[in-house]
């Protein structure tokens, strides 16, 4: 696993874990990874909670599917399942990238946006997610509120972002699906339309 990605996972877990109480079933935190979304879904204690991207804007998966979770205790002889999971997968090429982070919202804490002073809301569209019957509300941000040439040290409070800024500065899409899964998609080099396309193409994974 890339060091930067691990730090991001732990930072997000620490942030959201500080808001909601940890599970009370005597579990321990684990960090695991799988070769596919299907394998990751099969490891979870919440069937149907996970979605996989079917539209990937021409990008290839460049990481394993990471699961930061609590391992739920089971009866002797029964395989343990992960609960309160936080799952991520990344896709990229030389110029573009996106990461999908998912969390089943009914298991103690949810994947949510970590406030960033560079981000501004671009739009709040209603999206139809693949096979879901109803549309859901998403919030899309762009990282445009920066002061050049040193964007790392300051931001402009009154800056407004446009849809074009999603590609120029990077974007973030946040939503909760009909299955009550919180999803955060972070993009670099992708257009607003591509970012929305990734969200619309998410497909709920069925586990036998």
Look at residue 79 in the predicted model and tell me its pLDDT.
66
DSSP 133: S
Query: What does each of the 208 residues of the chain score in pLDDT, given as a tens digit?
Result: 343 444 344 444 434 343 333 333 345 667 889 999 999 998 888 888 899 999 999 999 999 999 887 776 555 556 677 776 789 999 999 999 999 999 887 655 545 566 677 889 999 999 999 777 789 999 999 998 865 555 554 445 566 789 999 999 999 999 998 888 899 999 999 999 999 999 999 999 988 7
Look at residue 7 in the predicted model and tell me its pLDDT.
38
Look at residue 8 in the predicted model and tell me its pLDDT.
46
Quote the number of domains for the chain.
1
Site of tokens 């946040």: 174
Look at residue 199 in the predicted model and tell me its pLDDT.
96
Task: Give the CA distances from residue 25 to residues 15, 21, 107, in Å, rounded to whole numbers and listed in that order.
Answer: 21, 12, 12
Look at residue 9 in the predicted model and tell me its pLDDT.
44
Q: What are 123's two structure tokens?
A: 């739009």
Structural domain of 167: 3-204
Instruction: Give dist(CA 86, CA 25) in Å, integer.
Output: 18
pLDDT digits (tens, 9 = 90+) for 78-120: 667 777 678 999 999 999 999 999 988 765 554 556 667 788 9
**H helical segments located in 18-148:** 37-42
Look at residue 30 in the predicted model and tell me its pLDDT.
76
* Burial of 109 per CB tally in 10 Å (0-12, 13-18, 19+): buried
């Amino acid at each position: 696993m890339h060091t930067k990605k691990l730090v991001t996972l732990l930072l997000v877990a620490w942030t959201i874990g500080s808001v909601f109480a940890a599970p009370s079933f005597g579990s321990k935190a684990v960090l695991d990874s799988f070769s596919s979304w299907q394998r990751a879904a099969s490891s979870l204690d919440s069937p149907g909670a996970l979605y996989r991207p079917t539209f990937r804007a021409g990008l290839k998966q460049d990481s394993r599917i990471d699961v930061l979770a609590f391992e739920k205790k089971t009866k002797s002889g029964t395989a343990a399942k992960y609960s309160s999971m936080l799952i991520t997968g990344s896709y990229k090429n030389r110029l573009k990238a996106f990461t999908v982070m998912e969390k089943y919202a009914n298991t103690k804490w949810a994947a949510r946006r970590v406030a960033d002073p560079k981000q501004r809301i671009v739009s709040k569209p209603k999206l139809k997610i693949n096979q879901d019957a109803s549309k859901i509300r998403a919030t899309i941000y762009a990282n445009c509120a920066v002061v050049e040439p040193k964007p790392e040290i300051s931001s402009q409070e009154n800056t407004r972002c446009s849809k074009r800024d999603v590609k120029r500065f990077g974007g973030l899409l946040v939503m909760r699906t009909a299955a009550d899964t919180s999803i955060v998609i972070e993009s670099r080099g992708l257009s607003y339309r591509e970012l929305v396309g990734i969200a619309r193409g998410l497909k709920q994974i069925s586990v036998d």
